[in-house]
Amino acid sequence: MQGKKKALGRGLSAILESPETDITSRDISGEYVVGAIAHVPVNQIEPNPFQPRTHFEESELAELTISIQEQGIIQPITIRKLGYDKYQVIAGERRLKAAKMAGLTEIPAFIRIANDEQMLELALVENIQRQELNPLEIAISFQRLLEECQLNQEELSQKVGKDRSTVANYIRLLKLPTEIQIAIRNNKISMGHARALITINDTKTQLIILHRILEKKLSVRQVEEIVRNLTLANPGKKRNENPILPVKFEKIKETLNKKLNTEVDLKLNLHGNGAIIITFKSDEDFDRIVLKLDS
């Protein structure tokens, strides 16, 4: 086990550049030459099953496809050999996709040796270094490295070059409700928004604030202020039983204010129960409001 972790801990550049991982490629005589670049048929290359990136922007693929059509593949991809005429991408899956879209039948590639654990690590680190993963994809990949490669958070932080607290913050994203995770994945909210929401212990309140972020385009600072006001993260304080109102309730409140020409307040607690409070200044004002409600 100790030896396996040491090999895994070499990281992306060490594994990709080590002669130990080279399978070699053929020269013009058909002989294999260490360190050379092979031109491998694209139909013999499978996607990386450990690829942490789950979404490829169509516009970016289209731009890369045009570039490849005009200038070819500038940077070879890296693959591993699975069997006779069968390979698997280690790094460069986006280039492979674009090459296929460009109509290429072959692609330049380095052929390396990598086991499943190294494949996961290589795909993760390569994408992080290229900043191509969204926060949720990074969180899922970190969790897989912890579980499948039997690492602890300290070892993981050293491997990916991030503080342990940063690693922990990413992994905590996986505890958020599914709707919030989808918003992160689709870049609807940022890591900063998500970190603020994580501090709230109540799922319903988290979702109410998420909807407000999306509808009002709230900044991270505004969300942090809302969370501070709720004081839900502090167990020593009484929970705020009146979380921020969803937009539809705010609109109803404004409508009633105008229709009744008086101050109307809406209260909503964490369990979904609420109350409408209508203010009146005198008996005459009360009768006026009642008539308005009947009309």
pLDDT higher at 132 or 198: 198
> Over 80: is that where the pLDDT of 41 sits?
yes
Q: What residues are labeled active site?
A: 93
CB 289 within 8 A of CB 295: no
CATH fold group of domain 2-167 = 3.90.1530
Binned at pLDDT 50, 70 and 90, residue 5 comes out as very low
Give the pLDDT confidence score for residue 194 in this predicted structure. 94
φ, ψ (nearest 5 deg) of residue 32:
-85, 140
> Over 80: is that where the pLDDT of 282 sits?
yes
| pLDDT tens digits along 91-127 | 788 889 899 999 999 999 888 777 777 776 776 666 6
Binned at pLDDT 50, 70 and 90, residue 71 comes out as confident
> Over 70: is that where the pLDDT of 237 sits?
no
Report how far Cα 66 is from the mean position of its chain's Cα atoms.
Answer: 27
- Find the Cα–Cα–Cα–Cα dihedral 142, 144, 146, 148, rounded to 10°: -150
What's the average model confidence in pLDDT over 155-177? 86
What's the average model confidence in pLDDT over 2-9? 40
Q: What is the mean pLDDT of the chain?
A: 76
What's the average model confidence in pLDDT over 262-278? 74
Binned at pLDDT 50, 70 and 90, residue 243 comes out as low
Give the pLDDT confidence score for residue 173 in this predicted structure. 92
All structural domains of the chain with their residue ranges = 2-167, 176-230, 247-294
The token pair at 125 is 């680190």
Binned at pLDDT 50, 70 and 90, residue 280 comes out as confident
Give the pLDDT confidence score for residue 19 in this predicted structure. 44
> Over 80: is that where the pLDDT of 27 sits?
no
**In Å, how far are 30, 36, 171, 182, 193 from 190, measured between CA atoms?**
52, 42, 15, 12, 5
Binned at pLDDT 50, 70 and 90, residue 179 comes out as very high
Q: Is 136 exposed, middle or buried (0-12, 13-18, 19+ CB in 10 A)?
A: buried
Element of type H or E holding 187: none
> Over 80: is that where the pLDDT of 147 sits?
no
Distance CA 61, CA 101 (A): 9
Binned at pLDDT 50, 70 and 90, residue 263 comes out as confident
Q: Where are the alpha helices (DSSP H) in the chain?
A: 2-8, 11-17, 58-71, 93-101, 116-129, 135-148, 153-160, 164-172, 178-185, 191-198, 203-216, 220-230, 247-260, 283-294
Give the pLDDT confidence score for residue 12 in this predicted structure. 45
What's the average model confidence in pLDDT over 191-209? 90
Multiple choice CATH, 176-230, 2.40.50.220, 3.40.50.620, 1.20.1440.230, 1.10.10.2830: 1.10.10.2830
Give the pLDDT confidence score for residue 106 in this predicted structure. 92
Residue burial 229-246, b: 16+ Cβ < 10 Å; e: rest: ebebeeeeeebeeebbbb
Give the pLDDT confidence score for residue 61 in this predicted structure. 83
